[in-house]
Amino acid sequence: MKSIGELKVGRYPPLVVLEAEVPITRMMCHLTTKGVRHAVIVDSEGKLKGIVSAKDIVNFLGGGPKYGIVEKYNGDLYKAIQETAAAEIMNPCSYLYDDDTLYDVINIMMERDIGALPIVDSEMRVIGIISEKHIMALFSESHTYVRVKEIMSTPLITLPPQATLIEGQKLMISKDIRRLVLKSPSGGLRGILSIKDILRFYCKESTREVLKSGKWRIIWNTPLQNICTREIVMVDPEEDLSQAVRLMRKHSIGCLVTSDGKGIVTERDFLLKLPKVMGVEVFVDEVQKLIAAARIHF
């Protein structure tokens, strides 16, 4: 069986690799510029120390308990992001060796509910990263005999478009999600706010200037509709999952809202839930570099 190193699945090297002393503001803007959600943290020799996700940063910015670090700066959010090192919000992480297989990747991600895994060499130097997005890119578009509703996440978690940024941050962290659907009082769905949208907003020069002036509450009170960048793409919950894969690829997105407004299906749902559906088997085609999943027992 070929290794992930031989198949070159993932990103080599990772797009964002930083030393532990790097301030959060620099890390945050690196992630935004590169369009990724994970920063791999290393020591001066390039050896793995941990990982920071976009969710960790949103937690720190007021969404959850990591905001306690900011309180040490008397609530001065600008000073906190300038002076707090990545190491202070870093998490220890699971990792892979480049001779591990795709089956190893899928099993570790499933068992530990992990969205990204650094890849290291025999001396623990970081050489790559593989995420659920990379795994999703390998999924075959062949028929699965599994309907969208069998793996979608419910209920659909929403906020009104006029809800504030800090409300969105807190809801994301408390529900452990990366996306919020904006739903008007009349019931219409107006868009999807992603965790990347939040980082992008904090990295804007205009936002940083307001934070620098000490008016962080103005930023926190920004309506979510002013930050949201994605329109909603829908899928029928009765459709086969192969249609969901095609739609995600067509629109270059990681989630779909079901047309009945009751749920959402994400890349993570494919990875964590599909292999657990009764009768489903997952196959890895190393020649084609494809992952196929289908219900073979009914």
Confidence of residue 288 (pLDDT cuts 50, 70, 90): confident
Q: Looking at the predicted structure, is the pLDDT value of residue 159 above 90?
A: yes
Average pLDDT, integer, range 181-199 = 96
Average pLDDT, integer, range 144-164 = 98
Tens-place pLDDT, residues 99-141: 999 999 999 999 999 999 999 999 999 999 999 999 999 999 9
Model pLDDT, residue 5: 87
pLDDT greater at residue 54 or residue 297: 54
Phi/psi of residue 215, nearest 5 degrees: -95, 55
Lowest-confidence region among 4-13, 146-155, 175-184: 4-13
Phi/psi of residue 120, nearest 5 degrees: -125, 160
Model pLDDT, residue 29: 95
Residues 215 and 209: beta-carbon distance below 8 Å: no
The reply to whether 4-131 and 148-295 are identical in fold is yes
In CATH, the architecture of 148-295 is Roll (3.10)
Amino acid code (one letter) for 287: V
> Whole-prediction pTM value?
0.95
Tens-place pLDDT, residues 44-88: 999 999 999 999 999 999 999 999 999 999 999 999 999 999 999
Long-range contacts of 6-11 (CB under 8 A, 24+ apart): 7/102, 7/286, 7/289, 9/102, 9/105, 9/130, 9/134, 9/135, 9/138, 9/289, 10/119, 10/128, 10/129, 10/130, 10/131, 10/134, 11/128, 11/129, 11/130, 11/134
- pLDDT above 90 covers a percentage of the chain that reads 92
pLDDT greater at residue 221 or residue 4: 221
Tens-place pLDDT, residues 223-264: 999 999 888 999 999 999 999 999 999 999 999 999 999 999
E strands along the chain, which residues? 17-19, 38-42, 48-53, 96-97, 116-120, 126-131, 158-159, 179-183, 189-194, 234-235, 255-258, 264-266, 280-285, 290-295
Q: Which CATH number does 4-131 carry?
A: 3.10.580.10
Model pLDDT, residue 229: 83
Q: Looking at the predicted structure, is the pLDDT value of residue 12 above 90?
A: yes
Confidence of residue 180 (pLDDT cuts 50, 70, 90): very high
Q: Looking at the predicted structure, is the pLDDT value of residue 297 above 90?
A: no
Model pLDDT, residue 287: 83
Long-range contacts of 24-28 (CB under 8 A, 24+ apart): 24/57, 24/60, 24/80, 24/81, 24/84, 24/85, 24/86, 24/89, 25/81, 25/82, 25/208, 27/52, 27/57, 27/86, 28/57, 28/81, 28/199, 28/202, 28/203
Domain boundaries, the chain: 4-131, 148-295
- pLDDT mean across residues, the chain: 96
CA 138, distance to chain mean position in Å, is 17
